[in-house]
Structure 1
Amino acid sequence: MSKQIKLKKGFDIRLVGKAEKKIGDFQSVKTFAIKPTDFIGMQRPKVIVKEGDTVKAGSPILFDKKLEKVQYVAPVSGEIVEIKRGEKRALLEIKILADSEINFEDFEKYTDADIAAASREKLVDHMTATGVWPQIIQRPYGVVANPEDEPKNIFISGFDTHPLAPDYDFLFKGQANYFQAGINVLKKLTEGKIYLGLSGESKSSEFANIQGVETNYFSGPHPSGNVGVQIHHIAPINKGETIWTLNPYGVVQIGKLFTNGQYDASKLIALTGSEIKTPVYAQTYIGSCVDSYVAGNTKTDNIRVISGNVLTGEKINRDGYLGFYDHQLTLIPEGDYYEFLGWMKPTTEKLSYHKALGLLSFLNPKKEYVLDSNVRGEERAFVQTGVFESVTPMDIYPVYLLKAIMAEDFDEMEELGIYEVIEEDLALCEFVDVSKHPVQEIVRKGIELIQFS
């Protein structure tokens, strides 16, 4: 039975630059890259190609020695033009010069009856060998799931509430049949339920009629679209339990693999932010170079390019590569300046959660803002104000959890909910923090302390 859950805690960061629901005409992207840094927890990547090799979409190029069964594959066909390494030969990127026409590895096709008759082991082996398995993320820890585990439940969030987030109904329009096929596969991987979270404020959804899932509706400010928040309110994680999560894109990709017998890495991404001339959507593939979308398409030169959203995304170069899990590219002004006593100047041009002297944004709650990357301050004493709790719609105490992590108090971390969160769940705390702490870095430190203890 579905639930209607209204969340009051949280905060919507309203920015200029929402993508218009149309697909722009851009120059073809020539290079693509797989970045091991996109896969949190990957410790010992092993490259199985060399420069000059030719690959097809779906050809294995990389695996993690810790999970050798899981293959990371090429998103497009073409030539391996660079295997880029950093300090101590750490693997940074595997770059592919794409063919003008994408050629695919041919994999086995499955009908609905084939999926129903197949064993769990066979389905898992097929998914790990063909590149779709990294779409499955494990909670706790927020890492690529271990195929040897069996999850208690599987959760999918069917909407996104991050700043300038893409519209999922537009992103996955016409792909409900692939989504259903993906659900049919996932049902074989757990004895528990598959939970689908949809927006309670949307009039319709591309996934509203999907079978084999328990659909729940969430409304309220960000982070109501976060799968971690949805897990917390439907079936919370307890110590020793494992839950798997997927983005709808991952479910669709699984469905395409089993239906068409191809690793299809094509995707729509939203080009957003105040500094982009034409905020629209672009058709591309996983790991695309963003130069085609940035060059000649910015209002100014002094910008920050972010793969993802402004809360949890990664800063990249103008010729950098889109993250594996990202469906959004955001361009905002670079905040490389100092503003003397800027926080004291009365203005309506700055957005703040706090009704402070210099920030009057609360007088116009619907206004959209042009915000830059300036944090306007430096790290200082960790002040207990209660504001973290007001933007975290979960029954945890964020400040005490963060302090327990900083003190490396394992018992306190467990009691205060470390198993329930990853970085994105407390990203708003970093935005509203007057003490300017790197909240998401602290959360990841805590997760790693628990995971490897």
Structure 2
Amino acid sequence: MSQDIRVKKGLSIKLKGQAALTTAVADRSDFYAIKPTDFHGITPKLVVKAGDEVSVGDVVFFSKEDDRVKFTSPVAGIVKEVQRGAKRKVLAVIIEAKSEDSFKDFGAANPLDLDREAVLGKILESGSFAYVKQRPYDIVANPSDTPKAIFISSFDTAPLAPNYAYALKGKEDAFQAGINALSKLTEGNVYLGVNSSEATFFDKVEKATILRVSGKHPAGNVGTQISNVSPINQGERVWTLNPQGVAIIGELFLTGKYNPTKLVAIAGSKVNNPQYFSLKAGQNIQKVLAENTVTEGARVISGNVLTGTQITADDYLGFYDNLVTVLPEGDQNRFMGWLPFVGSGSIHSFSKTSFSWLAGNKTYDLNTSLNGEERALVVTGEFEKVVALDVYPLQLIKACMASDIEKMENLGIYEVIPEDFALVDYIDPSKTEAQVIIRNGLDLMIKEVG
């Protein structure tokens, strides 16, 4: 059974440096990091200290709010240090890797032969429950909840996004096992969004309702697909996962091992040979970047250019990220760039003045310049053109800024997360940080409503 979804709103941004469908061998990193900051809203309770030895799957910390939600080591090694910030906040647990991994055995099992509690218990014990996120609020899901549905988007329409069909080539059985496990966790459907213009193995996945999606970005965002199929009301919960997270859960059931290894695209115009590398969650990427990119005068982003996090060239891969983007730093001014039509052949803009809308297939070498600074300018009727959800984006942003909970609820705060407003950040001439505002609004809802 399948359902067609056509997304008419949005904006696709085509950048130079798309990763080729080839995989290079990456040297094993010396260090790996598990960062509590990757898991928004989680207050960690450490289980390890400097000098402790860990295997893959050993618990490093758990959530103070629910000790069933565990975060486990991606690698076998020795805990080198616990990095702390202000008020002794845990920023990262750094693990020095051994030459080879040893794995904690969680026991292989067919999820279709288990009941819900047994499936959930195995996922929680291994630490792979961290891949399960919850809407509303975009946080690690609460295992006590029973979601009304589970959504996975098998494709990504963000700039330079990885190809998940290629990334999971050879892991089809693991992905199916992951879907089988997830089908036990909800009384509703497991929905799998697929690209209607590309035939992949995702089209033949069982135990899932296929959503055939077409359109511009954000067609690949799971939130866009939820909005079209099962909008979220107050008190309802929907769980979401990335496709590689599904395969990691599936591999847990097939082998009994937690193995957070995934193909990560290293892309962008500052990358010499954009392609895929097999990396672990939290892996130090210094060696990969040093051999394949020009980092001088560049910005490194863990994630995509719209929603990713700026990191240094010797930093660590984010837990949820399947892409590292390297772009030119925006530290140069464009000559007479304030005039319309100047540089129209080399810039991309949502505005008609740049003529980029006439060259739909052109790729651009964009830098990180904001082309201006924050200003008191309100543009009406523009945000609605790129937000593909059934909400009033400008009014919702204002309600979040005013901390008006009642208006936030009426305007659809339960349906959105920051990534749904990424294109607003891109097109907004007033340079408003819409994603930050929405995140603050969601945090207020967690505190006041729960």
TM-score (norm 2): 0.97
Q: Distance in 2 between matches of 1:343 and 1:272?
A: 30
Q: 1:336 aligns with which of 327, 331, 336?
A: 331
- Is 1:193 matched up with 2:192? no
User: Deviation string for 1:169-225 (max 9, x for gaps)?
Assistant: 1000121211111111111111111111100111x1122111111101101110000
TM-superposed deviation, 1:381: 1.9
- Is 1:388 matched up with 2:387? no
Q: Give yes or no for contact 1:257–1:264 (8 Å, CA) kept in 2.
A: yes
Q: 1:364 aligns with which of 359, 362, 380?
A: 359
- Is 1:2 matched up with 2:5? no
Give the corresponding residue for 1:235: 230
Give the corresponding residue for 1:122: 118
| 1:150 match: secondary structure | coil
TM-superposed deviation, 1:452: 0.9
Percent identical across equivalent pairs?
A: 46
Q: Distance in 1 between matches of 2:444 and 2:222?
A: 23
Q: Which moved more, 1:344-353 or 1:55-64?
A: 344-353
Q: Give yes or no for contact 1:307–1:314 (8 Å, CA) kept in 2.
A: yes
- Is 1:178 matched up with 2:187? no
Matches within 5 A, 1:51-62: 51-62=50-61
Q: 1:416 aligns with which of 393, 411, 414?
A: 411
Give the corresponding residue for 2:96: 97
Q: Distance in 2 between matches of 1:27 and 1:144?
A: 31
Q: 1:348 aligns with which of 342, 345, 348?
A: 345
Give the corresponding residue for 1:375: 370
TM-superposed deviation, 1:25: 3.3
- Is 1:401 matched up with 2:403? no
| 1:69 match: secondary structure | coil
User: Deviation string for 1:39-90 (max 9, x for gaps)?
Assistant: 1111x21111111111100000011101211110000101111211112211
Q: Distance in 1 between matches of 2:233 and 2:423?
A: 24
Q: Give yes or no for contact 1:150–1:189 (8 Å, CA) kept in 2.
A: yes
Give the corresponding residue for 2:28: 28
User: Deviation string for 1:105-127 (max 9, x for gaps)?
Assistant: 0112103xxx3342322222221
Q: Distance in 2 between matches of 1:229 and 1:448?
A: 21
Q: Distance in 2 between matches of 1:343 and 1:276?
A: 30
| 1:445 match: secondary structure | helix
Q: What amino acid does structure 2 have at the position aligned with 1:361?
A: S
Q: Give yes or no for contact 2:295–2:313 (8 Å, CA) kept in 1.
A: no
Unaligned runs of 5+ in 2: none
Give the corresponding residue for 1:317: 312
TM-superposed deviation, 1:338: 4.1
Q: What amino acid does structure 2 have at the position aligned with 1:318?
A: A
| 1:451 match: secondary structure | helix
4+ residue stretches of structure 1 with deviation over 3 A? 337-341
Q: Distance in 1 between matches of 2:424 and 2:75?
A: 38
Q: Distance in 2 between matches of 1:45 and 1:296?
A: 35
Q: Give yes or no for contact 1:10–1:221 (8 Å, CA) kept in 2.
A: yes
Aligned length in residues: 446
Q: Give yes or no for contact 1:108–1:261 (8 Å, CA) kept in 2.
A: yes
Q: What amino acid does structure 1 have at the position aligned with 2:170?
A: G
Q: Distance in 2 between matches of 1:385 and 1:148?
A: 42
Q: What amino acid does structure 2 have at the position aligned with 1:257?
A: L
Q: Give yes or no for contact 1:33–1:96 (8 Å, CA) kept in 2.
A: yes
**CA 1:298–1:183 in 2, change beyond 3 Å: closer, same or farther?**
closer
| 2:45 match: secondary structure | strand
TM-superposed deviation, 1:296: 4.0
Q: Distance in 2 between matches of 1:178 and 1:297?
A: 30
Q: Give yes or no for contact 1:154–1:193 (8 Å, CA) kept in 2.
A: yes
Give the RMSD, CA atoms, in angstroms: 1.3
Q: 2:164 aligns with which of 168, 177, 192?
A: 168
Q: Give yes or no for contact 2:298–2:329 (8 Å, CA) kept in 1.
A: yes
Q: Give yes or no for contact 1:155–1:245 (8 Å, CA) kept in 2.
A: yes
Q: Give yes or no for contact 1:346–1:360 (8 Å, CA) kept in 2.
A: no
TM-score (norm 1): 0.96
Give the corresponding residue for 1:83: 82
